Amino acid sequence: MSTDVAALTGLDVPTGLLIGGEWTGGKGGGRMPVVDPATEAALTEVANATEDDALEAVSAAHAALPGWAATPPRQRAECLRRAFDLMTQRGEQIARLMSAENGKSLRDARAETTYAAEFLRWYAEEAVRIDGNLTVAPAGANKVLVTRQPVGVSVLVTPWNFPAAMATRKLGPALAAGCSVVLKPASETPLTALAVAGLLEEAGVPAGVVNVVQTSRPGPVVGAMMADPRVRKLSFTGSTEVGRILLRQAAGTVLSCSMELGGNAPFIVFDDADLDAAIAGALIAKMRNGGEACTAANRFYVHEAVAAEYTARLADAFGKLTVGPGLEEGTDVGPLVNEDTRRKVSGLVTGAADDGGQVVLGGRAPDRRGYFYQPTVIDQVPASARIAATEIFGPVAPIIRFSDEAQLLQWANASEYGLVCYVYTNDLRRGLRVSEALETGMVGLNRGLVSDPAAPFGGVKQSGLGREGGHDGLLEFMETKYIATEW
């Protein structure tokens, strides 16, 4: 059946598990379907890993670890750089594959492919910048020598919403640091991860350094790996709910955890904002990936002096977006990933209307096959509405009006999440003051996009632990060793 995928995307995507450099069908887990959310039909089937497969992958990674850790950084860098080149050459095919299995528009998929490849290039560059330091102990008797070593076998668990970028954002730094890995991609979107693993193999990453175990039973499979003392790192991107479960499990082996969890981003428009910029920013912060992003603007706080104008312009801009299958050129907003997600989005919109919000655009699913939902704008939403406290993960913008900066900050910070905030104002002093006061790991100041491979991405509060990207992302896969030395 994978011939269909090849015809659709131009890529011959492997559908097995990758363990110790071999593509295998696994040990009795059978196969699981991958669904195209624009048609609700199965695209293909992939191998479905069991706990035994996962532990075999850990063994393969453990066996490959010493060799890879001892490989000169320059050589590790060149593998990553070749993978960047391959991913860039095949960008169009990978974008089509992502559109097919995730539903996102080709435009979003192309942008993600570029972004994802960039992590391979960035970490090719970081691999040769692994530093330590040497200081004199205050007593003068000895030197404090600090070096860094790869943390060891790393389990990487990724979500379906950015199937390529969430994989390379972990694979890049792990491989640069000298770690071997087992990647467990989301069951909705395993094909992109398998394609990326294929590229890394082709780029010369040795057998066993990268293993991939997709599964329909993530709890037991990830749990088995986390309980294995040979595993020394978990890097997880997904929901806060699952993140909490994994942090509890990590206690068993005192496993080092990097967690990129959920968000509930405020998008703040002050009365002195450049409204053109605030509309352009909202189109990215809200509608990129159809709103299925942890960084998606989730609640719009608009100053009452400009709220009527801003809302009208936002509804106009969202109303012009074309909703359709991701693989059709010209589509701006693809389907949501599955029916559960659509039901949740639809329930939140109904709830916001019950709470007093006025639906000024959309508010329903179009009458067609596929998990589509219309771009939606809801005005006059009360600050206490449930929609403002919930990660929407769909193309819906609730607008809450504010008049006072102190009140605004209180609302913005009244969340268990703290991933990103967007702030629009032409007063730089206000912009920086508010940025400092917001309880968040990242701020987009007059910008609707913060993601950059060179920048430390991550959240505070229950949005996560640790950072990905930049130099910080490399350090997540390294341990610090201190040698007290005299000479």
Residues in touch with ligand NAP (CB under 6 A): 157-162, 166, 184, 186-188, 218-219, 222, 237-239, 242, 245-246, 260-263, 294, 391, 419, 459, 464
Helix (H) or strand (E) holding 60: helix 51-70
**Does residue number 292 form part of the binding site for Mg ion (CB under 5 A)?**
no
The answer to whether the CB of 442 falls within 8 A of the CB of 416 is no
CB-nearer residue toward ligand NAP: 35 or 408: 35
In the list ligand NAP, Mg ion, none, the entry touching 101 (Cβ below 5 to 8 angstroms by class) is: Mg ion
Contacts of 86 (CB under 8 A, 6+ apart): 199, 202, 203
The answer to whether the CB of 391 falls within 8 A of the CB of 416 is no
The number of angstroms, rounded, from the C-alpha of 117 to the middle of its chain's C-alpha atoms is 14
Using the rule CB under 5 A, give the single segment among 29-37, 78-86, 238-246, 384-392 that binds Mg ion.
Answer: 29-37
Whether 260 is a known active-site residue: answer: yes
Please list, residue by residue across 393-415, b when 16 or more beta carbons sit within 10 angstroms of its beta carbon and e when fewer do: bbbbbbbbbbeeeeebbebbeeb
Contact pick of 51, 101, 108, 126 for Mg ion (by CB under 5 A): 101
CB of 190 to ligand NAP, least distance (A): 9
Give the ranges where 103-251 is alpha helix by DSSP (H): 106-126, 165-177, 190-202, 218-227, 240-250
CB-nearer residue toward ligand NAP: 203 or 234: 234
Residue 470 to residue 432: CA distance in whole angstroms: 22
In the list Mg ion, ligand NAP, none, the entry touching 180 (Cβ below 5 to 8 angstroms by class) is: none
In the list ligand NAP, Mg ion, none, the entry touching 163 (Cβ below 5 to 8 angstroms by class) is: none
Residue 316 to residue 300: CA distance in whole angstroms: 16
Residue type, 7: A
Angle between helices 190-202 and 91-102 (to 10 degrees): 160
What 3-state DSSP class applies to 217? coil
Residue 268 to residue 299: CA distance in whole angstroms: 8
The answer to whether the CB of 331 falls within 8 A of the CB of 290 is no
In the list Mg ion, ligand NAP, none, the entry touching 159 (Cβ below 5 to 8 angstroms by class) is: ligand NAP
Using the rule CB under 5 A, give the single segment among 81-89, 96-104, 144-152, 170-178 that binds Mg ion.
Answer: 96-104
CB of 360 to ligand NAP, least distance (A): 26
**Does residue number 46 form part of the binding site for Mg ion (CB under 5 A)?**
no
CB-nearer residue toward Mg ion: 161 or 237: 161
CB-nearer residue toward ligand NAP: 55 or 408: 55
CB of 188 to ligand NAP, least distance (A): 6
CB-nearer residue toward ligand NAP: 294 or 399: 294
Contacts of 189 (CB under 8 A, 6+ apart): 34, 98, 101, 102, 160, 163
Angle between helices 2-9 and 91-102 (to 10 degrees): 130
Residue 225 to residue 50: CA distance in whole angstroms: 11
Quick one: CA dihedral 353, 357, 359, 364, positive or negative?
negative
In the list Mg ion, ligand NAP, none, the entry touching 35 (Cβ below 5 to 8 angstroms by class) is: Mg ion
In the list Mg ion, ligand NAP, none, the entry touching 294 (Cβ below 5 to 8 angstroms by class) is: ligand NAP
CB-nearer residue toward ligand NAP: 161 or 168: 161
Tell me the per-residue interface mask from 182 to 211 with Mg ion, x by CB under 5 A, - otherwise: ------x-----------------------
Contact pick of 35, 47, 360, 397 for Mg ion (by CB under 5 A): 35
Q: Which of 280, 258, 299 is nearest to 421 (CA)?
A: 299
Helix (H) or strand (E) holding 353: helix 339-354
CB-nearer residue toward ligand NAP: 26 or 178: 26
In the list ligand NAP, Mg ion, none, the entry touching 187 (Cβ below 5 to 8 angstroms by class) is: ligand NAP
CB of 222 to ligand NAP, least distance (A): 4
CB-nearer residue toward Mg ion: 101 or 476: 101
Active-site residue among 56, 126, 260, 292?
A: 260
What 3-state DSSP class applies to 113? helix
CB of 311 to Mg ion, least distance (A): 34
CB-nearer residue toward ligand NAP: 18 or 222: 222
Active-site residue among 294, 391, 468, 476?
A: 294
Residue 311 to residue 294: CA distance in whole angstroms: 23
In this structure, what token pair is assigned to residue 339? 């029916």
Using the rule CB under 5 A, give the single segment among 6-14, 17-25, 61-69, 94-102 that binds Mg ion.
Answer: 94-102
Whether 294 is a known active-site residue: answer: yes
Report how many residues bind Mg ion under the rule CB under 5 A. 3
In the list ligand NAP, Mg ion, none, the entry touching 2 (Cβ below 5 to 8 angstroms by class) is: none
CA 382-388-392 angle, 5° bins: 140
CB of 264 to ligand NAP, least distance (A): 9
- Residues serving a catalytic function are 260, 294
What residue ranges bind Mg ion (CB under 5 A)?
A: 35, 101, 188
